Every structure is written in C-alpha cells, then in structure tokens.
Amino acid sequence: MQRQPNINSFSARLQLEICGGFGQHFNPGGAKLCAAQVRIRLLSRSAFPMMAPPEGVVGGWSMTWEPLLDQLASDRTSGAQELTRLVSLLLSRYLRGDTPEEGCAARLRSLTKRILDAQPAMAPIITLLNHVWLKLEQIGRLAAARSAIAAELEQMSLETELRLDRIAEICSDRLPEGSVILAHSYSSTVLRALLAAHEAGKGIRILCSEGRPALEGIRLAEALAAAAAPVQLCADAALPGLVGEADLVLVGADAVVEAGAINKIGTYPLALAAKATGRPFYIAASLNKLLPPSLEPLLRIPDRPPGEIWGGKLGKLKVYNRYFEVTPLSMITGVITEEGLWSIRKLRPALSKTPTSATMARLAQEMMGPPMQTSE
C-alpha cells in the first residue's frame, strides 16, 4: 500500500491535495518550486489552529466530497478563510469524481446551491464559487475546464495564504507600541495579525470576548496565550464597557458589502462604544471578502437553534439566536486589507468592480429577498 505524506495538519493535507501536480510558481529568491511545496512552506508558518478531518475521513485522505459538505454545514466555529479552504477541497474532489459530461453543469449548479446553503454568510466562499463559474463560462464545457478550474483553486488558495500574511504584516506595523487591542470572537486574520505584532516585540495586550453561543472567542484567547501573548478573556456583555480601556478595536469580518460589514453578533455594540469613546474601530479583511451588489443577495444570516441559548420548553418563549449581524460602514474607521488601510471612501467604489458570473448572478436573483438590514 502506498504511504501518504506524513503531514500532521489536515489543512496542510487539504492544500497539498488541491494543488499537487498543478502548475509551478516562482518564489522571490528565484528558485522554482511546485505549488505544493510553496503551500506546505506557507502553512508551516500559520499560527492558527487547523480544522480536524471530518468524521469518517481516515487521515483526511478520503476521495469523496460528501463528508466535507456535511462538515461544512455543521461547522459553527471556524472562520471564513478556514471554511473556504474546506470548500476548495470539496470542489477539487467533486471535479475529480463527476465524470459524465451530460448534465454536469446542472449538477455543479446544484452543488453550488448546497454549498451556499451550508454556509450562507461567508463572502470568501461566494468569491471562490464565482471564480469557478467565471472560468467554466469562459471555457464553455466542464470536461475542458476541469484542469483550468483545478489550477484556479490552486492559485486562489496560494493567494489567500499570501494575503493573510500581508495583512498580518500591515496590522503589526500599524499597531502602536504597548497598545491595548480589543478583539471579538474568533478570526484567523486577526489572530495572525496579533501574533505578528507580539512576535515583533510590540508589547501589545489583548482583551477578547467569549463569542457566545459557540464560544469561539475562547479559541482566539487560547491561541494567543499559547504564544505567550498577554491576553484577557472577557464576557461578551463586558466588552463594550472595556472599549475605553483599549487603544483600538480590531475585528475580522465574514463579508463586506454596501450595507456594511458582516461579523459575529456583538460587533455593532463595540462599534457604538468605539464611536462614543473616540477609539478607532478597524476591520481586518482580505479583498476576497468584498462582494459586489450583484452577489449580495447570496448572503443570508440564518436563525440558529434556540437550544443553544435556552434549553427550556416554554412554548410561548421565543429565542433570538443569530451568529452574525451587520455593522454599518459609517461606524468603521477603516478596513485593513492586503493592499493597506482602506478608508470607507475608497472601499465603496471597489465593491462594484468584481466581475460576476452569469450563473452566480442568476442564483442571486433567485435568492433575492428584502435588503440586508443594518443596525443603524
């Protein structure tokens, strides 16, 4: 039996499986490396915890895509970039296995809808699917487009790692020496930025929240503490009152649209507190989280099970349980992207410049509902 590479991280296996054998890239020093080598080297620098293999996937190497779709739908704590890596792997496996040409576009469209329903509030997933469909529509037939789509998945995965490293570097450079930063819930982008600043000797201190109801903020606190970064874990309700003790607020985002930035519930009160106390309120987000108006209807903020909040059985008691909310762009000081700090004035026109595939635009029209409500 052929032995699989001895790689401990499921995420590293994920990237290797997507890009193994496709294309080559040049590193800054001029040495030619295959994409898989570049990816493993990049992932070895990643400081945030990786997702575990889905249940029933031995060692992360199962060649079926269905378990990954199940994992995607059930995941309540991973960040947008982690979930997008999972979708990349899912699509890679799907394209290898779906061979009959007849009806293949319809099957891929059906899978696209299932992915969108599994995680309806994650802009990078929509961006990834949009790129796949743009490539397919450009080439015309899935059979001819398979290798091109695989290369597109490979390139996007590599670019995401480079983007996150660049954002971490920019954030670290901008954070004042000895500053107190307030963070909310879990964001792999924010985690990289805080770790970069800590490792650069900036002497920062972090206040972070639990991130109820799934408590993913504890994951952020644990990762920072494991790196010996000074961090204090706080109850969600206490965080707005602590903004005045911080020098700035730094949060991630799952999507940035014309209506505002979509992030963990509780972000908007932090923005209000920052405005009231004169503290800067920054969002760290890569450009693949920016969605044009044509794709915005694909974003939805679903209700989650009431039992996550209250396990009683009073029929007349209604429970509000949503993981995400919209913070208006007017409440945000700026967005730190891989291209630097963007003002909201610069951000707004950029939202309309993304090319949209015809298939994704039709899906958006089908899902069109009332405009996304902000908290303003």
Catalytic residue ranges? 254
- Name, in order, each residue with C-beta under 8 angstroms of 172's C-beta and a sequence gap of 6 or more: 193, 196, 197, 200, 202
Torsion angles phi and psi, residue 264, rounded to 5: -55, 140
The 8-class DSSP code of residue 42 comes to: H
Closest to 96 measured CA to CA, from 146, 62, 156: 146
307-335: b (≥16 Cβ within 10 Å) or e: eeeeeeeeeeeeeebebbbbbebebbbbb
Beta-bridge partner residues of 264? 324
CA 16, CA 19: separation in Å to the nearest integer? 5
Q: 3-class SS at 268?
A: helix
Place of tokens 């107190």: 180
